Each structure stands twice: as C-alpha cells, then as structure tokens.
Amino acid sequence: MNTADPNTPQTETVLILDFGSQYAQLIARRVREAGVFSLLMRPDAPLDEIRAHKPRGIILSGGPSSVSEDGAPRCDARVFDLGIPVLGICYGMQLTAELLGGRVEGAPHREYGRAQLQLNAPAGLLHGVPDHATVWMSHGDQVLALPSGFSTIASTPTCPFAAVEDRARRIFGVQFHPEVTHTAHGMDIIRNFLFQECGCAGSWRMSDFVETECRRIRGRVGSSRVLCGLSGGVDSSVVAALLARAIGKQLCCIFVDNGLLRKGERELVESTFRGHFDVDLRVVDATQDFLGDLAGVADPQQKRRLIGHRFIDVFQRAAKSIEGDVRFLAQGTLYPDVIESGHGHAGTAANIKLHHNVGGLPEDLGFELIEPLRSLFKDEVRKLGEVLGLPESIVWRHPFPGPGLAVRCLGPVSEEQLRVLRDCDEILLQEIVSAGLYRQTDQVFAVLLPVKSVGVMGDGRTYDSVVAIRAVTTQDFMTADWARLPSEVLATISSRLINEVKGVNRVVYDISSKPPATIEWE
C-alpha cells in the first residue's frame, strides 16, 4: 500500500527505485529537503504503477549486489523509454549501463571512501560543481564500456566513467554517492537533476501535505468515526491533530493512563487536545490494573508482555463504549516503519519487524486502518506538528518507551519507586532544557537502579537509592553514543536530585554506547 495522495498529479514527485542501498532512505530525504516529494518503490515495480504516479524523474539507488549475479535486482528496462529523466547512482548507474548495452565488470580493487572528481563538462548535472571535487565512492563493479549515446562528464584517477550522461534521452549516471555528506557538492548534483533536468519547481511543503491529506481523509471516512490511541508522543499526537483538522468531532481519542507516565503527562495531553484542539478525548485511568499486573515482576520482558496485554484489554473496552459508526483506527506509522516491515517496496527491504504503533494493537480489532503519516520521515512529522500548531513540548519531545517508567525502574515496580523516578525525571529534564541541551541530545532520562548505597546527609547516615542518568545522541536510534554533557550541568543535576528527591543519595552517569549497550536499560 502506498500513500499516494500526497503525490497527486498536482504534486511534483520523483520515484526512487530501491535496489537495497543502505542510503536509499537518505536519497528520499535529500529529494524532499529540496522541496520535491519522493517515494521509494521496489526495483521491479510494474511500469503501469510507475506511470500512475506521474513522476517528474526516476532515481535508481545503489545496492550491494553485482549486476552480473544471478538474482540481482533489476528494473523494467522500459523505464528508460518513458521520456522521464533517470539518474542512476552506483549500482543504479551500473544497471543502467548494462541494460542499455554497456559493459560492467568487477573493478581491480573495491573502491571505498573519498575520491577526487575531475569534471569534463561542468554544466547540466554538474553545474556549479568545482572542477576538482571530493566525492564518496563505495563500489566493487565498474562500468568499462558506455552504451551508445553516452558520454563521460567526470572521472577520477581510478574510475574513468565516474559520471556519465545521455543528453538526448536525459539519462544520467554517477558512480559515487551524491546523497551522503562526504560528497562535498552532492546536494548541488541532486538539485541540478531535480530542477534543471526534471523541471521541478521545488514547491512541495508540509502545509500542502496537510490540505491534501485532510481531503483524502474526509473522502475516505465520510460520516464514520475514527479512533486514535493517543500516547502523548509526537507520532500519535500529530496523527490526532491532523485528524482533528480533517474531521473534527468525528475523531475520538483514547488516552490510557497506565500509572507509568512521567509527571504532568496526562495533564499536558488533556489540555492540548481538549483545550486547544477541542477533540473528543476519553481518558481511561487504569493505574491500579497495570500496577496490579506488575506487582513483584522483575523480568523486563515479562513487564512488557503484561503491559501490552493489559493495554489491549483496556483499549478494547474503551473502544466499545464509543458512540456512532466507529469504522476506522488511526495509527502513527511512519515511512521507515513501512520500509523496515518490508511493505514499502517488498522484495528488497528486510522484514525486520512488524509495526503496530498503537501500543501493539492486534490486526483483528475489526477496524480499517488509517495511517496518514506512512509517507513521512520523523523530522517531517515534527514539521507537520509545527504546522498543525502542536506545542513545542510535544513536537520536539524525546522518545518515551511504550511500557513507560516500568522499564526505567529496574526490578519490581512500586508506587513509591515511580514517585522517586518521576521526581528525578522532572528535575533532569528541567536542567537539560535550562542548559539549552534538549535539542542537542536525542534521548535523556533517569533510571532507578535496584541497589542502595550508603551516604551521609547532614549529620546522619543514609542508605538510599542510586539513580543513573542516560543521555545519548543518535541519528537513527539503531546506533547511539553517550552525550558529553558539560561537567557543570552534571554537577547541578546530581546536586538537585540528591537534595530534592527524597530517597536518593547517589547519582551515576551512563557512558555506554549502542552497541554494545541498548539505549534503554530494560
């Protein structure tokens, strides 16, 4: 399923045929950053499906395969006959050459890293690129003979056909990766392809997405009602705000208070969606149910299972009480979720995980799914939240685990431990925001450890809890590094936690990276 309506015929669209490149999503992001809507598609997408999108251009991504291998991914060779500009990147360039009659063979040495590009034709695709430019190479095969009609526009000392073109047919190829930051003028090359070769205007904006998606939602929903599981996180909040704009009171949001939330979280959600957006919001306080399930449970996986099962039960019971024709369930599925699940362009994406974004809700709830964010990346969702008027505290909120504070309270969970952890979390975030570090870090939180230590406070001995502070920076949350917070900020945080939170007498800082450690402790 593609979310095709954002790229209606009135919207400029560039399609990216993904041959399994680790940079495929990055290409899509770079195109969108230039103001042109992009969609990733499977490499063997039928020609009719490609035509249906009315693309201004097509980009063939890189990939780990060799074009000579059995089973190597291929596209329909007729994409070159559509009269649409095509840009092949790395494997995409090699496949272009091979399909059009050129010759591709293994290079004497696999080329990986920076290389110096020498321009032959500093115009067209390479307009504005210096005669000598640094580019990023990553390839084992190489084009050794060009197809008829092609000419060389740039080379490197080890790659005579580093950039090529068939000017008459508007087909281009680059052996390097313009989408990565290591290629100094890569965005210039991408913009040249989009604006000079494809004739795009770069007019795609998030405000356009709002109006187009609202029309699509209204057309699909009609007079029915839509349920939305609201967590307070950015994804579900943006979905709720978008649906509120589109269908008003036909939307009903269910917020489950599981007793594992941060301080003030329920109040923030209520004031935002009842006050500002005037949404039909049903808050279900199931604190005692969740804490009862968790009593005495120390194993983190068991905690997650119990919380997930209870959430489904509470949500189902709440859903049954909603009046009217409730046919749809809205979820905050994002584009990376679709791709990782293998649904975005099945056949090249590994089926890493199946995403059910509303608390792990099963598919057999009996609702039709609405996933209005499934064509957007995370940073685009945040931009959408700003356009919709969500408060900064929600739009730029750091990720918060679905099981909540239960997995930041190591060992069995109690109300007293949750009280300590909430107070610590509030102070920690206050100091991170005060120091101007919230937007410079990607996740910051406190962990209550299942140990006690001796301390001295005043004239007396204490035997109280230890709190660990975790702060990381990351681009994709697949890997992460511990944040180098200033020592004076850490000192202030430690002093406040020990002096203001009853039950804490020691603070430690987690300096583990992912891998080998995970971001969350449980």
Q: Provide the annotated active-site residues.
A: 90, 177, 179
Angle at 429 between CA 260 and CA 446, to 5 degrees: 55
| Helices and strands (DSSP H and E) totals, the chain | 14, 18
CA distance 367 to 327: 5
DSSP 112: E
Pair 262, 425: CB distance under 8 Å:
yes
All residues at 6 or more sequence positions from 421 whose CB lies less than 8 Å from its CB, including other chains:
405, 408, 409, 446, 448, 467
Q: What is the residue-wise DSSP string for 172-194?
A: EEESB-TTSTTSTTHHHHHHIII
Q: What is the residue-wise DSSP string for 430-461?
A: HHHHHTT-TTT-SEEEEEEEEEEEEEEETTEE
> Across-strand partners of 326?
225
Pair 37, 6: CB distance under 8 Å:
yes
CA distance 14 to 55: 5
DSSP 242: H
Give the DSSP H/E element, type plus range, for residue 498.
Answer: helix 487-500
| Residue environment code for 382-393, b if the CB has 16+ CB neighbours within 10 A, otherwise e | bbbbebbebeee
Q: Are strands 159-166 and 171-174 parallel, antiparallel or unpaired?
A: antiparallel
CA distance 95 to 89: 9
CA distance 449 to 89: 49
